[in-house]
Structure 1
């Protein structure tokens, strides 16, 4: 990820480097709670239903035992039969957000902050990327998270 703009002294060009090829695919997922981003998991390669179920089993399930509801967007992996079966088998309450409604998804704002850090830091290796992802996720404070939830709730209260 590279910032699409730059600054230079008046009359001078901005000179920066940008990779020609996108490199390896790294997927990262995390749970946004009232305390910040939690249960962060990153892995190389595509995110499949099997990998997502493994993530839910190891990292997310312990967080949901307190009677919380898991809110999922409509990513195809989130809606996979294996994911729904896993959640049902473990009696997890879950809801899917309506299609095309990022304003109702509080994690969108958290990921926006994480992406801004990534663009600023310009990681060029997978190890550097994973390090920055971890630090950026930790930068989401409880105050940030509560604001993201409040913002999404404000949108959900609007009726037409």
Structure 2
């Protein structure tokens, strides 16, 4: 299932324009940024049990406050990461760009992100361009164009298996989860989203 807005003429036109622009950029210069939220209530979706028995898992009774994750991936691997208790706002995102991402950028890099409101700060594009890179926004309703969506699925799967129940344990689990993301997986995610085919 997907949002019906994706089928509108306006969005379809924006999706075509995105690919026409992105095909001029080498996949190894693409960097995808996004956010995700996790909490202390994550549990395994599947488990093993003795034949004829049901597997059980304990989940905290009260829903915990979310921890926001911000990440950036490219064909070179995991480029930058950050986590903060609570929601990500514009100031937090701008700090991530200036302190975590910009020092890792190179001339010719292309940063790709969706156009949610916190990504539209007036200084964000300038910070990226001053580092010799460019910024391109994904078309609306197009998460399947972003390989980092697959990255969040892998990270959440790892966090579910760890099952942290304190924020200290969750912080450590987040570090473990990011470290488990391999370069080969990232390249496969890029291929899945059709970016590596641009080399053909």
TM-score by length of 1: 0.85
CA displacement at 1:84 relative to structure 2: 4.2
Q: Distance in 2 between matches of 1:91 and 1:123?
A: 40
2: CA distance between counterparts of 1:141 and 1:12? Answer: 35
Residue 110 of structure 1, CA deviation:
1.2
- Does residue 111 (structure 1) correspond to residue 152 (structure 2)? The answer is yes
Secondary structure in structure 1 of the residue aligned to 2:160: helix
| Cα 1:30–1:3 shift into 2, 3 Å | same
Which of 56, 68, 71 is the matching residue for 1:15?
56
Number of paired residues? 157
Deviations 1:27-78 (A, max 9, x none): 1111102232221111112201111111111110012233201000233312
Alpha-carbon spacing, 1:66–1:135, altered in 2? closer, same or farther (3 Å): farther
Distance 1:78 1:70 in 2: 12
Q: Judge conservation of contact 1:36–1:144 (CA < 8 Å) in 2.
A: no
Q: Deviations over 1:59-100 (max 9, x none)?
A: 100122332010002333123445345446666411111122
> Structure 1's 22 and 82: CA in aligned 2 closer, same or farther, altered over 3 A?
farther
Superposition CA RMSD, Å: 2.3
For structure 1, which runs of at least 5 residues remain unmatched after alignment?
Answer: none
Q: 5 Å matches for 1:31-70?
A: 31-70=72-111
Point out 4+ residue stretches in structure 1 off by more than 6 angstroms: none
Residue of structure 1 equivalent to 2:21: none
Q: Identify if the C-alpha distance between structure 1 residues 94 and 154 changes in structure 2 by more than 3 Å, giving closer, same or farther.
A: closer
CA-CA distance at 1:6 after TM superposition: 3.1
